[in-house]
Structure 1
Amino acid sequence: MTLLHYTAFSTDPAGGNPAGVVLDAAGMSDAEMLAVAAEVGYSETAFLMSGAADGAIPIRYFSPQAEVPFCGHATVATAVALAERVGPGELTFATPAGVVPVVVEQGPDGLRATLTSVEPYVEAAGDVSEALALLGWQSDQLDAALPPRVAYAGARHLVLAAATRERLAALEYDFDGLRAYMLEHDLTTLQLVWRESPTVFHVRDPFPVGGVVEDPATGAAAAAFGAYLRELGLAHPPATIQLRQGDDLGRPSRITVELRDDDNRVRVSGYAVPMEPA
């Protein structure tokens, strides 16, 4: 087993969201993969498995505490790691959430990957007062134009929109309480957002179910958020949305979300670069 270290959604090794990448995980057990992810300590580590079917490469994702069905930043990191070895082009990953095509291209600042999500959906969030209490947020601090919803594009995320950048920046929450709440409601992260403009959003993603306080970049949540914007009529395809994440953690990340008018799925793009192990 060779463990690679990449950061996704940045061209700077000091930015983006770090991911472990194992390109040769054939024969590893669940316990072994979880142990590697826990030792690495990143929000996710991706493992490429053997047994490709119809050209789709099996891939699995483990946080330090659990397996997750889909991880966007680790997918981008893995695709770029492969492209560095075999050249840019088209890849297809068979994730636990479904088939995810990825195109890797040479961009002006390095290799850039674009993943296409599984079929997304958006559903009512119900009463979110408990989630707000665990975050220390008040209901009058929400943006009424962006109502709470649960959005899915490979994993489920509760979308909550802050009315001000200051509310988004001041993030302190009950880790154990929010983890229990998210497990009860089958949530992978909370997608906390603030709208700078119709096409630019600042986002933060608590990830206590994975044993991580916060993700610096969350591709799966970005895809789900694209579906959210389309469902609520806040973005009309064709549309390109820019997400700014990680600034409050000192690891700036830049995520591009694309909505097309001929396909319900969501495209998520970003750079990835190798990094030295912590």
Structure 2
Amino acid sequence: MSRHGLPVTIVRACLRDGQGGSPTAVLDEAPLSDDERRRVPAAIGTSHAVFVSVHDSRRGGPVVSLRFFTAEGELPGCGHGTVAALAFLAERAGGQEYRATIHAGGRVFTGWSARENTHFNTAFDPGPVDLRRPTAIECDLVLPALGVTPGTLAPGTRVASVGRSRLLVPLTTRSALTTLSPDFERLRDACDRLGFLGCYAYSVPTPSGRAAARMFAPSIGVAEDIANANSTACLAAHLAGEGISDIAVDMGDSLGSPSTITATAQHDASGLLVRLGGAADVTPSIRMP
């Protein structure tokens, strides 16, 4: 097959009430260089691309490898990309439910997807979350670049990781989040210096666990992400320590594509277990230009 004729499926991941979502390019694994892979998002008009390889089928379902790319290069993991890939595979498999063992970023985990009317509801285990308090230097470099002021910053800033570190920044209100205006060049310099993926700013959740968030990741070529599920997993792990076990986070409104990501965090015998969820819509395949 010509490299200029690869079939690509656009999956809108993490829908809100059946609308919006983060358009994600999903492709079957192909003999492409990493440089060619990172060109796919720009060519298709998405922020991310995920490459899918199905190895075999076992009793517990198929075994699938995923690789994630932005225009800047490969990522060790991508939450909404995983949602997109699971919906893509479920659509292809037919039937009402799909379950697979996923290999991605050096991890092995289970993902599920179930058809519901015109979309798929998916869920997966993003893996263990590492949390720590940021240093004064980290805050001094990042928060001014993000545009956060002392009056809008709430307690509880954390450095969190599910493969790569990012800063979780709580804001007092949704309006403070909406009006946030980062200096992207300065923010990228700060994140590059500190080795951060980016910054996930969020409004203080309601007692029911509803919040809004915006993810800024210029270091990976994504000024603002429509939906960032792995950062939502980090938030769920952090909030579990405050007695909130279920959250629903709205994203993408500032970009005109409303999205929602759900997460649960509960303790079991092995520690804290996080589950991420999102709805996705699979569109017909197109040919990459």
Same fold? TM cut 0.5 = yes
Letter of the 1:252 counterpart: P
Q: Residue 272 of structure 2: which of 234, 246, 264 is its match?
A: 264
Q: Residue 131 of structure 1: which of 132, 142, 145 is its match?
A: 142
Report the Cα offset of residue 261 of structure 1: 2.8
Residues 129 and 139 of structure 1 are in contact (CA less than 8 Å); yes or no, is this contact kept in structure 2?
Answer: no
Aligned residues: 271
Match of 1:46 in 2: 50
Query: 2:35 & 2:48 partners in 1: Cα distance?
Result: 15
Are residues 271 and 50 of structure 1, via their aligned partners in 2, closer, same or farther at CA, if it must alter by over 3 Å? closer
Q: Residue 31 of structure 2: which of 8, 27, 33 is its match?
A: 27
Match of 1:241 in 2: 247
Matched, 1:61 2:71: no
Report the Cα offset of residue 74 of structure 1: 1.0
- SS in structure 1 at match of 2:237: helix
The one-character-per-residue Cα deviations of 1:80-107 (angstroms, maximum 9, x if unpaired) are 0110011322112211151232111233
Match of 2:109 in 1: 100
Report the Cα offset of residue 16 of structure 1: 1.1
Residues 39 and 64 of structure 1 are in contact (CA less than 8 Å); yes or no, is this contact kept in structure 2?
Answer: no
Matched, 1:274 2:282: yes
Match of 1:148 in 2: 157
Are residues 53 and 125 of structure 1, via their aligned partners in 2, closer, same or farther at CA, if it must alter by over 3 Å? farther
RMSD: 2.3
Higher Cα radius of gyration: 2
The one-character-per-residue Cα deviations of 1:210-262 (angstroms, maximum 9, x if unpaired) are 222211111111111111212xx2235xx221111112222111111011232
Residues 119 and 282 of structure 2 are in contact (CA less than 8 Å); yes or no, is this contact kept in structure 1?
Answer: no
Are residues 13 and 207 of structure 1, via their aligned partners in 2, closer, same or farther at CA, if it must alter by over 3 Å? farther
TM-score (norm 1): 0.89
Unaligned stretches of 5+ residues in structure 2: 1-5
TM-score (norm 2): 0.86
Match of 1:7 in 2: 12
Query: 1:122 & 1:196 partners in 2: Cα distance?
Result: 18
Letter of the 2:44 counterpart: V
Are residues 169 and 10 of structure 1, via their aligned partners in 2, closer, same or farther at CA, if it must alter by over 3 Å? same
The one-character-per-residue Cα deviations of 1:124-166 (angstroms, maximum 9, x if unpaired) are 211202211112221232112xx11111223322000111222
Unaligned stretches of 5+ residues in structure 1: none
Query: 1:52 & 1:151 partners in 2: Cα distance?
Result: 34
Match of 1:226 in 2: 236
